[in-house]
Amino acid sequence: MLKVKKLFKTYNLNSSFFEKQKKFVALNNISFELKENEVLSIVGESGSGKTTLAKIICRLIPFDSGTIEINGKNILDYTKAEFSKTVQMIFQNPYSSFNPKLTIGYSLLEAVDKNIKNKKDIIMEKLQLVDINDDIFKKYPHQFSGGQRQRLAIARALLREPKILFADEPFSSLDVINQNLVLEIFNKIKKNKKTNLIFITHDIPAALKISDKILALKAGNLV
Ligand SMILES: Nc1ncnc2c1ncn2[C@@H]1O[C@H](COP(=O)(O)OP(=O)(O)OP(=O)(O)O)[C@@H](O)[C@H]1O
Ligand SMILES: [Mg+2]
């Protein structure tokens, strides 16, 4: 369902006015495939290009060359609305994932597809999945713990029922109890078979536990 072919990405480095623009190769000829219902982990040391790869597949940053297809269609050919139903991403830091000025309920309502009539029903369904029972229409992000916010971020990402859910280091900022809760939620998502999970992690034992395939990056190369 996901096919990445010969992907290259360079970043421009700051250089002084008189120097030629310097480039840093962040991803060097990456190719891989993911089948329906497979869980993938991307591992590798800090700076190896994991987040860069995720951001490219989520269309958050451009790439230099190569092709990325999801269900046989180039990701650049999806409309914005179509794409938000196709790929969603959960970021490393649960503290910055919600607008602090809006109630969680408001943020979640905004994330539901405009064409859905019973918006609250789908929100409740996803909140149940992540085991949050608070009145989210009264509460603001700061009134939830980091672990709860991480789970709320997962609920929000699932509102669009995406084909692919990327999670960038979803365990790194959580304590063991919350890590296990989040791991359980991912296992439930895996069993639902609606969404392909892709994890980015430093934690190889966790990667081995949950995934069918592991991709190891080293300095932008697939190893
Ligand atoms: N906007 C940018 N401009 C220049 N270089 C960048 C930029 N973003 C990332 N890089 C560089 O690209 C390389 C890969 O970064 P990336 O964030 O993908 O690593 P990572 O594998 O996710 O690391 P970590 O495990 O620390 O999150 C790093 O060397 C980083 O310094
Ligand atoms: Mg990263």
**Domains contained in the chain, CATH given:** 2-99+146-222 (3.40.50.300)
Question: Residue with the nearest Cα to atom 27 of ligand 1?
Answer: 46
pLDDT reported for residue 192 = 87
Ligand 1 atom with minimal separation from the 13 CA: 4
Report how far ligand 1's centroid is from the alpha carbon of 23 (Å): 13
Out of 21, 23, 48, give the residue to mutate to test ligand 1, the one with the largest number of ligand atoms within 8 Å of its CB.
48
Local confidence pLDDT in tens for the 223 residues of the chain: 999 999 999 999 877 777 777 889 999 999 999 999 899 999 999 999 999 999 999 999 999 999 999 999 999 999 998 999 999 999 877 677 899 999 999 999 999 988 888 999 999 999 999 999 988 999 999 999 888 998 999 999 999 999 999 999 888 778 888 888 888 899 999 998 889 999 998 888 878 888 999 999 999 999 9
**What pLDDT is recorded for position 193?**
86
Q: Which residues of 195-218 are buried (b: 16+ CB within 10 A; e: fewer)?
A: bbbbbbbeeeebbeebbeeebbbe
